[in-house]
């Protein structure tokens, strides 16, 4: 048995590091307090080390995964601190947005087959089908509200048919886009022939519900 010089509690020898009068719990508390005092500097130092030592970082991640213990400990800690983790993740993403986006794109390219397999299985689930039905109902409702009485329904239908023809003949998925989005926090357009255009699916996904007058 041994008495800790900091907390003055008698503990077993395995609760102490070699040649240290303070117990492991007290040392851990001291290290945490020092880390919090200079949290931004410590995080930046960790990020720089990871960038300079990718091989060591990958090896460390591999050993943690193989042991399973660190992952389990981190999972429990994350469950207890979910709000702070989300806040920190948002701050990190905002500071390194370009790096985060390029990293995600690279990961998607490297794991395209895995993503495709996952999505094929997900599309078969009742959850996906229910969400699809709900989204379709919502879109139809919004579209109906946004359609003025003077809209030319035949012209609108012709635009959608032309979009299907272009997709079929080119082999490139195209979609009918609302130039001025019919659902947006800034401006809402109408569902009419003058507000429709045919663009590629990729362009439409990038545009989302944004609108640039220029």
Tokens of 207: 């545009």
Its pTM stands at 0.47
User: Cβ contacts of residue 25 below 8 Å, gap of 6+?
Assistant: 7, 15
Pairing of strands 174-178, 10-11: unpaired
Write out pLDDT tens, residues 13-52. 888 887 788 888 888 888 888 888 888 888 888 888 888 8
Residue count (the chain): 214
The residue written with tokens 């329904």 in the block is 153
Task: Report the sign of the C-alpha dihedral through residues 161, 166, 168, 171, in that order.
Answer: negative
End-to-end alpha carbon distance in the chain: 77
Bridging pattern class, strands 174-178 and 2-3 = unpaired
Beta-carbon count within 10 A of 134 CB = 10
Interatomic CA distance for residues 195 and 152, integer angstroms: 12
In a structure prediction context, what are the per-residue pLDDT tens digits for the chain, which is 214 residues long? 888 888 888 888 888 887 788 888 888 888 888 888 888 888 888 888 888 888 887 787 777 777 665 667 777 878 888 888 888 888 888 888 888 888 899 999 999 999 999 999 998 999 888 998 998 898 889 889 999 999 999 999 999 999 999 999 999 999 999 998 888 777 788 999 999 999 999 898 888 777 766 5
pLDDT for 162:
95
At residue 16, φ and ψ (nearest 5 deg) are: -120, 150
Residue ranges per structural domain of the chain: 68-102, 111-146, 149-214
- pLDDT tens column, 187-210: 788 999 999 999 999 898 888 777
């Amino acid at each position: 048995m041994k008495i800790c010089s900091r907390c003055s509690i008698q503990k077993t020898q395995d609760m102490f590091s070699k040649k240290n009068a303070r117990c492991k719990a007290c040392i851990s508390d001291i290290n945490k307090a020092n880390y919090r005092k200079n949290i931004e500097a410590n995080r930046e130092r960790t990020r720089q080390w990871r960038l300079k030592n990718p091989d060591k970082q990958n090896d460390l991640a591999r050993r943690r995964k193989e042991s399973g213990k660190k992952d389990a400990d981190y999972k429990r800690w994350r469950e207890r601190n979910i709000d702070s983790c989300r806040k920190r993740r948002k701050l990190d993403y905002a500071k390194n947005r370009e790096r985060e986006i390029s990293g995600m794109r690279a990961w998607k390219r490297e794991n395209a087959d895995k993503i495709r397999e996952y999505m094929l299985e997900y599309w078969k689930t009742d959850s996906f089908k229910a969400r699809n039905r709900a989204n379709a109902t919502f879109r139809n409702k919004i579209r109906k509200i946004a359609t003025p009485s003077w809209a030319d329904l035949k012209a609108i239908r012709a635009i959608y048919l032309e979009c299907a023809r272009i997709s079929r003949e080119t082999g490139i998925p195209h979609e009918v886009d609302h130039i001025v989005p019919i659902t947006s926090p800034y401006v809402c357009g109408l569902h009419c022939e003058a507000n429709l255009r045919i663009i590629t699916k990729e362009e439409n996904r990038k545009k989302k519900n944004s609108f640039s007058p220029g």
